[in-house]
A and B are shown apart, each in its own frame.
Chain A
């Protein structure tokens, strides 16, 4: 009983999403709302439904309960927009839950974003103190760790230079260094490992590992499943605001991956909330076909394929200049293949309200492996719909070179035709 560090019961958080643009009200709107709201309320109660004029109620988090033991390092995984960050924000007391309650034993430190609170005009030294204080460190504590922080950040030389002159890498390193030296019993971490170059990321990861060994309780949100697996003993999987599974991290990650694969291979994009754009055109489905128009589950290097994107447009107007593109990334998130309408054919005109965009790719030039596809559509240069990781793509071995050689996917994912010749030179 005494070993519980965090206990949450029925945590829920709802947001009212109304008009897309208006993030804050003007006085006039409030005054007119104030004047007309009773009328609206009266009208809707006459019609027998609740007053929803102000917008839809979205549950970012719904009835989430869990307990975390002292000293556990717990990963929180889930798709974009699943509610992971909302959960951390509630635990960090940045925002209040709509319902439910939680109790945390021990001092809580949160690293939701590195570098917030840095002031560009102040020097590195001054920012260490300022940022430390913002994160909840005492001055004496910062003094004691100052040298350690500077050494970790690798910016000794520039410590008395205003940080506005820092490169973004130096800036992030310093910011992470301050945050990483926060000594609280409970630490809430959101995706901070995505900073700096590969070497520094490795350093951050090992620092996180040290923190875990020290026996502190850590809650860690990340998309880097490898890092979660490595650092965390337990994991929570959150899906559309609900806690689906909690348990040993390897097990949870496996379940999560298979679900991810299932969803993405369902190809339906209607449910996706992690998209951007004004929604004048929206993708509804993404899939691949072979030359005979058969839907495919995986591709082979060298085959002739067509990428099909079903869409629906809002029918009020006719759109000209519709730009569509896709970008394929490999498992390390390195872009490997991009194509867009204006490369060869030009953008689409007069598109019907419902239809399909096709992109034919002859001799598919990627080596075997796992990929993800981002898709994008814009009208007159204004983003209509943009979905990262719209689908996963599995490419199996295929005879691209017609020689039986499969290329070297571990070195390079991209395949190209080429012919080697030898010519001697006369002396």
Chain B
């Protein structure tokens, strides 16, 4: 309201390709982003029996199953860390990523009514669907901290780097999520491809096995999967396994940023005609 003195001028014309307004209008409407996140968190577990506990049940059950089959039966190496902790540490960012992808890829299509009827920065929709997973993420992280002393693992000083890896997990989720959400607006095939993609991606990421299985230079190349960098980063900062993930992390971070930027470009391009094609 304080900008009332300056006449606000809206110019309407046909644009193609990326326009900076995709991002700048999000800043103008930043409260809307909070409200969307707040709504998604609030609504996520409405009318469920165990509610928020789903955030913990998911990684815990996955951990139990993986520990039995990969840890006990297949005797998967785990960098000298008790397998359950080893695997759960990876599951914390992984489940955040997997949920973010499935929520985000559907987010735009699910909001088609809004997109067709109201003007607002549409970027807020996929963004909020990823960020609203933060609460689940935090809960599952708390469970990890409870679990660690139980298995005799204590956190190392490297834990100060954890926020960096969390940021990388978020960047990767938003980057991939934006691509999928935007593609889903044009091709509904995405809806069917995503569950499958997530499943494959799980095994392509070092969740049930350590990336130390790979010798260099393959390990650095493995970093092309940005989740490899995220997962190994989590393990290194929380459990102190191996060496700091050097080149692999650098590769992952680069790929993650590339995904994010191209995702925003692609989104901005499609945003112009979204109301017509959704």
Asked if A26 meets B35 with Cβ closer than 8 Å, knowing A90-B12, A97-B13, the reply is no
- Further contacts, 4 of them, CB under 8 A, given A110-B118, A130-B35, A134-B120: A92-B119, A103-B9, A103-B12, A112-B118
> Does B187 contact A104, Cβ atoms closer than 8 Å?
no
Give the CA-CA distance A91 to B11 in the complex, in Å: 9
Asked if A27 meets B187 with Cβ closer than 8 Å, knowing A93-B12, A103-B9, A105-B7, the reply is yes
Question: Contacts of B278 on A, CB cut-off 8 Å?
Answer: 24
Best-buried of A98, A121, A133, A185 by chain B (most CB within 10 Å): A133
> Does B10 contact A108, Cβ atoms closer than 8 Å?
yes
Give the CA-CA distance A24 to B270 in the complex, in Å: 14
Q: How far is the CB of B104 from chain A (nearest CB, A)?
A: 18
Give the contacting residue for B31; candidates A95, A110, A112, A138; CB below 8 A: A138
Q: Which of B249-278 contact A (CB under 8 A)?
A: 272-273, 275-278
B39 contacts chain A at the CB level, 8 A cutoff: yes
> Does B9 contact A117, Cβ atoms closer than 8 Å?
no
Question: Contacts of A96 on B, CB cut-off 8 Å?
Answer: 12-15, 272-273
Question: Contacts of B118 on A, CB cut-off 8 Å?
Answer: 92, 94, 110, 112, 116-117, 134-135
Asked if A141 meets B187 with Cβ closer than 8 Å, knowing A104-B10, A112-B118, A133-B35, the reply is no
Give the CA-CA distance A126 to B39 in the complex, in Å: 9
> Does A116 contact B46, Cβ atoms closer than 8 Å?
no
> Does A97 contact B14, Cβ atoms closer than 8 Å?
yes
Give the CA-CA distance A117 to B276 in the complex, in Å: 18
> Does A102 contact B12, Cβ atoms closer than 8 Å?
yes
> Does A113 contact B117, Cβ atoms closer than 8 Å?
yes
Question: Contacts of A119 on B, CB cut-off 8 Å?
Answer: 39, 43
> Does A133 contact B31, Cβ atoms closer than 8 Å?
yes
> Does B186 contact A24, Cβ atoms closer than 8 Å?
yes
> Does A97 contact B114, Cβ atoms closer than 8 Å?
no
Give the contacting residue for B117; candidates A99, A105, A116, A138; CB below 8 A: A116
Asked if A105 meets B276 with Cβ closer than 8 Å, knowing A26-B188, A110-B119, A134-B32, the reply is no
A129 contacts chain B at the CB level, 8 A cutoff: yes
B42 contacts chain A at the CB level, 8 A cutoff: yes
Query: Which residues of A are interface residues toward B (Cβ below 8 A)?
Result: 15, 24-28, 30, 89-108, 110, 112-113, 116-117, 119, 121-122, 126, 129-130, 133-136, 138-139, 141, 185
Closest to A126 in B: B42
Q: How far is the CB of B149 from chain A (nearest CB, A)?
A: 38
Question: Contacts of B11 on A, CB cut-off 8 Å?
Answer: 101-103
Q: How far is the CB of A22 from chain B (nearest CB, A)?
A: 11
Question: Contacts of A117 on B, CB cut-off 8 Å?
Answer: 113-114, 118
Q: How far is the CB of A214 from chain B (nearest CB, A)?
A: 14
B1 contacts chain A at the CB level, 8 A cutoff: yes
Closest to A140 in B: B1
> Does B13 contact A100, Cβ atoms closer than 8 Å?
yes
Question: Contacts of A136 on B, CB cut-off 8 Å?
Answer: 29, 32, 119-120
Q: How far is the CB of A90 from chain B (nearest CB, A)?
A: 6
Q: Which of B86-103 contact A (CB under 8 A)?
A: none
B47 contacts chain A at the CB level, 8 A cutoff: yes
Give the CA-CA distance A88 to B140 in the complex, in Å: 47
Give the CA-CA distance A102 to B113 in the complex, in Å: 25
Closest to A123 in B: B42
> Does B12 contact A121, Cβ atoms closer than 8 Å?
no
> Does A122 contact B35, Cβ atoms closer than 8 Å?
no
Give the CA-CA distance A136 to B187 in the complex, in Å: 30
Closest to B29 in A: A136
Give the CA-CA distance A99 to B1 in the complex, in Å: 32
Q: How far is the CB of B27 from chain A (nearest CB, A)?
A: 13
- Interface mask (B175-190 → A, CB under 8 Å = 1, otherwise 0): 0000000000111110
Give the contacting residue for A116; candidates B15, B113, B186, B276; CB below 8 A: B113
Give the CA-CA distance A106 to B1 in the complex, in Å: 11
Closest to B28 in A: A136
Closest to A24 in B: B188
Question: Contacts of B115 on A, CB cut-off 8 Å?
Answer: 94
Question: Contacts of A24 on B, CB cut-off 8 Å?
Answer: 185-188, 277-278
Question: Contacts of A108 on B, CB cut-off 8 Å?
Answer: 10, 119
Asked if A26 meets B187 with Cβ closer than 8 Å, knowing A93-B119, A96-B15, A96-B273, the reply is yes
Q: How far is the CB of B119 from chain A (nearest CB, A)?
A: 4
> Does A141 contact B186, Cβ atoms closer than 8 Å?
no
B116 contacts chain A at the CB level, 8 A cutoff: yes
Best-buried of B13, B15, B47 by chain A (most CB within 10 Å): B13
Q: How far is the CB of B26 from chain A (nearest CB, A)?
A: 13
Question: Contacts of A107 on B, CB cut-off 8 Å?
Answer: 8
> Does A134 contact B114, Cβ atoms closer than 8 Å?
yes
Asked if A122 meets B13 with Cβ closer than 8 Å, knowing A113-B117, A134-B32, the reply is no
Q: How far is the CB of B22 from chain A (nearest CB, A)?
A: 12
Give the contacting residue for B9; candidates A94, A105, A113, A134; CB below 8 A: A105
Closest to B111 in A: A117
Q: How far is the CB of B92 from chain A (nearest CB, A)?
A: 27
Closest to A15 in B: B276
Question: Contacts of B276 on A, CB cut-off 8 Å?
Answer: 15, 95
18 A-B pairs with C-beta separation under 8 A: A91-B12, A93-B12, A94-B275, A95-B275, A97-B12, A101-B14, A102-B11, A102-B13, A103-B11, A104-B10, A110-B119, A117-B113, A117-B118, A119-B43, A121-B42, A122-B43, A133-B35, A136-B120
Give the CA-CA distance A124 to B109 in the complex, in Å: 25
Give the CA-CA distance A117 to B7 in the complex, in Å: 28
Question: Contacts of A26 on B, CB cut-off 8 Å?
Answer: 187-189
> Does B43 contact A104, Cβ atoms closer than 8 Å?
no
Q: How far is the CB of A78 from chain B (nearest CB, A)?
A: 20
> Does B46 contact A121, Cβ atoms closer than 8 Å?
yes
Q: How far is the CB of B168 from chain A (nearest CB, A)?
A: 30
Closest to B3 in A: A107
> Does B42 contact A112, Cβ atoms closer than 8 Å?
no
